[in-house]
Chains A and B, each alone.
Chain A
Amino acid sequence: MKNILIKPSKENLTSFVTFGSFLIFVSFFDVLANTFFNLNFTAFLPSKLSYFAPLIIGTIGLYLIRIEFSGNKLLDKININFNSSNFNAILTLIVIFALIKYIPPILNWFFFDANFIGNTKEDCTGSGACWVFVKVWFNRFVYGMYPDAEQWRINSAFIMLFALVGASFFVPLRLKKYLLIFLLFVYPIIGLKLISGGDFGLKYVETGAWGGLSLTFIVSAFALILCFPIGMFLALGRRSSLPAIRYTSIGFIELWRGVPLITVLFMSAVMFPMFLPDGTYVDKLIRVLIAITLFEAAYMAEVIRGGLQALPKGQYEAAKSLGMGYWRMHFLIILPQALKLVIPGVANTFLALVKDTPLIFVVGLLELAGMVNLAKTNPKWLGMAMEGYVFAGLVFWIICYAMSRYSQNLERKLSTER
């Protein structure tokens, strides 16, 4: 027993490692038995002590195997990465124990006790999630109240978009320019016309019926594409030497940044029509799009201005000394560098924008989260909030994670400081 009191050393490697591993094993055994079989071996101890027993035993065990330069590669690796001090040993144990305790119930809820088969709430007999809810409502979650018979129009609009974007990666550089112009200026009109209908024998579908994930995409995509150039010009405007342009930009940015998005949306729905002459009507969705775009443009402007300010003065002077005017200097020299610098910030704003889209519920437009909200209040499907929001959360996470990865890729691709 004297060995325990002295510092673990290389001389008694085998006995330390054996005894230490045994203690660690005991602690894990206790946690596993407790989690999966509801057995408590340390019940004879006072309840608080019994609760922490595995942690204490495990920490002692890890202390005993903490031998520097033991010669055993695996042991050294464990010690360096998980067990470099008593504090780190405790952290390691807490994390592992927490995973053992909480991962199984989560998996059970998600998969093993979940219900996938059936068409009504009554089919959900298990104790886990009722994915039947998501299955039955899936169509609504994606298309909102859009008529079932017309949903091919949304599908084809999005397939066309993905095909165009996909093609832009493969076409030769010479054609890329035209494809991009088509994508930015022609496609949105075609896509919107296809979805809203009214001409070419397509049935008119009013924007109030649009909804679900497709509306999330429509709102995000339009706001993303439009807020970027507006933000860019605002950023340039705020740095302009002409007072009129500078103060207009500052005023615009500070006005929109100082107001919560939800108020802006309310105003776009309630107050904006009051300023219009009688008889004119601007579609609710368009008003919302404009409101979100201008709101995000103000944030975008400040992000881009950060990039403009990070560029050394010498870049401006070099461009000027070569005879470039204001626009050439900015579009050829300054903006390409500044925008590259602010990719993380721009991605940040874009992600925030996508996650702000659920707020359009205040004007009665229901995108994905809004549809979930609506579905969970259906009398036949009460109590399904958890499943609905987990589903919505997952979908948003996938969208945002994809965007975040893309921005990282872009950063790497554009890096010239090799």
Chain B
Amino acid sequence: MSKIIELKNVNKWFDKFQALKDVNLEVNQQEKIVICGPSGSGKSTLIRCINRLEEHQKGQIIVDGKEISENTKDIEKIRAEVGMVFQQFNLFPHLSILDNCTLAPIWVKKMPKKQAEEVAMKNLERVQIADQAKKFPGQLSGGQQQRCALARALCMEPKIMLFDEPTSALDPEMIKEVLDSMVDLAKAGMTMIVVTHEMGFAKEVADNMIFMDEGRIVEKAKTKDFFDNPKSDRTKLFLSQIL
């Protein structure tokens, strides 16, 4: 299997505060990685660096063979291949659900409108909110909005999907419907990096687990090993608290 994302000694500072310290990571195609850790440990910063919503100051990030740095001319092209789902959904409230999904394919990928709508409906079908296509985001429940956000990202036909705590802003009842859609996506063979506290989901889907603390990757292991015999004490402590 070939590498699609590679991070080498990535360092990131917010002013004086160092958010990432010498992070090394390799992600293969179709691999599913779940990142967990306490808040402020740099999980979100890490995946936001992968599509350069945050800039790293030291080290190398290579996505799909292209290095991301301030000199990257076509950062938009890389972003178009890396879908992202946010904690707060971030749907466009002035557009209908369907338009939310077709906007980027039409304007960024130059897809004809008809075709974009077909793709959008297919993806909305996939996350089971095709019947809501004509509504506006404000009229949907949190779970439906997050699934729409997932469909919106999928409409760009990305090679990689990043999830930044996709269920943390949802009511417990709605978490399941979003996770179900994500499990479907994983089974379809998408490369996924997920920041989440949903350990049930992690056990079901993840190939590898990463535990982060204070900007460092403390432990990276196969999912089964990670839960059954974690090596570091910090990981053990964390797992004992959330499981």
Residues of A within 8 A of B (CB): 312, 314-315, 317-325, 328, 332-333, 336-337, 340, 414, 416-418
Contact = CB atoms under 8 A, between A and B. Distances in A.
Given A314-B86, A332-B103, A418-B139, A325 B76 contact: yes
Contacts of B77: 323
Given A314-B86, A332-B103, A418-B136, A322 B94 contact: no
A221 B75 CA distance: 41
B91 interface: yes
B17 interface: no
A314 B88 contact: yes
A321 B103 contact: no
A315 to B, nearest CB: 6
B93 A416 contact: yes
Interface in B42-86: 51, 53, 76-77, 79-84, 86
Given A314-B86, A417-B138, A321 B92 contact: no
Contacts of B136: 416-418
A414 B93 CA distance: 11
Contacts, number: 74
Interface residues of B, number: 30
A332 B91 CA distance: 13
A12 to B, nearest CB: 55
A318 B83 contact: no
A319 B53 CA distance: 11
A324 B104 contact: yes
A325 B109 CA distance: 12
20 contacts: A312-B90, A314-B89, A314-B90, A315-B90, A317-B53, A317-B84, A318-B91, A318-B92, A320-B51, A321-B82, A322-B80, A323-B77, A323-B80, A323-B108, A323-B156, A324-B107, A324-B108, A328-B108, A416-B136, A418-B139
B156 A322 contact: yes
B79 A323 contact: yes
Given A323-B108, A336-B94, A417-B138, A318 B86 contact: yes
B151 to A, nearest CB: 12
A346 B29 CA distance: 50
A384 B106 CA distance: 63
B86 A317 contact: yes
Contacts of A336: 94
B154 to A, nearest CB: 11
Contacts of A417: 93, 136, 138
A321 B107 contact: no
Contacts of B108: 322-324, 328
Given A324-B104, A328-B108, 10 more contacts: A312-B90, A314-B88, A319-B92, A320-B53, A321-B82, A322-B103, A322-B108, A322-B156, A325-B76, A328-B107
